[in-house]
Amino acid sequence: MAHPPPVEYAVAVERYLAASGLGDGSRRVYRIALRTWAWALADRPAPTGPERRRARPPVLPLALLDHPEAAARLRAAVDRRSRDTDPRTLNRELSTLRAALAWWRAQGWTSADPADGLRPRPLPAPGSGPAPLTPDQLRALFALRVPLREQALWHLLHESGAPVETVLALDADDLDLPRRRTRPPAPPLTWQAATARLLPLLLAGRTTGPLFLTTRRAPAATPAADRCPHTHRARLSYRRAAELLTAHAPAHTLRQLRPRSRPPRP
């Protein structure tokens, strides 16, 4: 039996993701992006900093996408976010929104395309972004007295040379700790001695669930793939991981932990 058209934007998001054929990790990334656009459609800036951990996206009628002001609200949000968001991330989230909008229109749930006219942000020229941290900067960062989670994340980012999003999407059972590498079907990553020392301490016997966790219990609506079955805490988000680094080292970014060339296999 066919379901009636959804009334709420959030329900339309979940139906789109269910029909997308995406894997769990990709659905998680798409869901975050589409929830972020909900704030723009409500003409409200998305929360940042510690407040974002407790914030819930506004409840919106899906019909708001056909509102004459929807396009202007999205344009304003893109302009606002482009000031402090990596252009690759912003372009990926724009692409996610466009794909969802096209699918909703194909279902006959909406008729307008408020993202029409939004263009991808230009990417920085190669080498124009912040340079990777120098050996002295890395030593100073790793010497900071920070929680085990941050130590493990920063070392894994540096030693694996992997993108931040890839590392945060890892689960405990993706790791082959004795061989210092991930297991298929996880992305192929390797690491070195410092990370090898920290990861078993971070896991503390956990064998399933997200590798990097928040410090608080996951909200009830958190997908099972993003909740630890042992601690009931949620997967650490990119935004929160960036905030944690900024709190301890304001001059650095997570992407600076990644060396220009992939580290050699240990």
DSSP for 12-58, please give it. HHHHHHHHS---HHHHHHHHHHHHHHHHHHTT-PPP-TTHHHH--PP
Pair 159, 235 in one domain: yes
Distance of alpha carbon 129 from alpha carbon 161, whole angstroms: 16
Taking the model in full, what pTM does it have?
0.56
Q: Which residue has the higher pLDDT, 65 or 82?
A: 65
10: confidence class by pLDDT, cuts 50, 70, 90: very high
Q: Which of 264, 174, 184 is nearest to 225 (CA)?
A: 174
Q: Is residue 41 part of a domain?
A: yes
Pair 93, 201 in one domain: no
Both tokens of 163, joined, read 């993108």
Q: Is residue 246 part of a domain?
A: yes
Distance of alpha carbon 153 from alpha carbon 240, whole angstroms: 12
Task: Determine how β-strand 181-182 pairs with β-strand 175-176.
Answer: antiparallel
Q: Is residue 266 part of a domain?
A: no
Pair 85, 164 in one domain: no
- Which region among 49-53, 56-60, 75-79, 105-109 has the lowest average model confidence (pLDDT)? 49-53
162: confidence class by pLDDT, cuts 50, 70, 90: very high
Q: Is residue 244 part of a domain?
A: yes
Tokens 């990926």 -> residue? 92
Pair 205, 247 in one domain: yes
Q: Is-contact 166 257, C-beta < 8 A? A: no
Pair 194, 90 in one domain: no
Q: Judge whether residue 154 has pLDDT over 90.
A: yes
How much helix, strand and coil, in percent to the nearest 5, is found in the chain?
50, 5, 45
Q: Is residue 199 part of a domain?
A: yes
Pair 140, 102 in one domain: no
Q: Judge whether residue 2 has pLDDT over 70.
A: no
pLDDT tens figures, 171-186: 999 999 999 999 998 9
**C-alpha distances out from residue 99 to 17, 106, 197, 206, 220, Å:** 11, 11, 42, 36, 27
Pair 204, 150 in one domain: yes
Distance of alpha carbon 249 from alpha carbon 246, whole angstroms: 5
Q: Is residue 2 part of a domain?
A: no
Pair 168, 217 in one domain: yes
Q: Is residue 54 part of a domain?
A: yes
Both tokens of 94, joined, read 């724009």
Q: Is-contact 212 236, C-beta < 8 A? A: yes
pLDDT value at residue 177: 96
Choosing from 87, 107, 127, the residue where a domain stops is 107
pLDDT value at residue 261: 60
% of the chain beyond a pLDDT of 90: 53
Q: For the CA atoms of the chain, what is the radius of gyration? A: 20
Both tokens of 168, joined, read 């945060």
Mean pLDDT of 64-75: 92
Q: How many domains does the chain have?
A: 2
Choosing from 65, 92, 107, the residue where a domain stops is 107
- Which region among 67-71, 83-87, 162-166 has the lowest average model confidence (pLDDT)? 83-87
Residue 201: count of CB within 10 angstroms of its CB:
10
Q: Is-contact 114 70, C-beta < 8 A? A: yes
Pair 164, 250 in one domain: yes
Instruction: For the chain, list the strands marked E by DSSP.
Output: 175-176, 181-182, 213-217, 233-235
Q: Structural domain of residue 13, as residue ranges?
A: 9-107
pLDDT value at residue 264: 47
Mean pLDDT of 189-212: 95
**C-alpha distances out from residue 207 to 25, 36, 186, Å:** 18, 31, 15
Pair 153, 226 in one domain: yes
Pair 213, 162 in one domain: yes
Pair 19, 86 in one domain: yes
Mean pLDDT for the chain overall: 86
Q: Is residue 186 part of a domain?
A: yes
**Cα within 13 Å of Cα(46), Cβ side:** 25
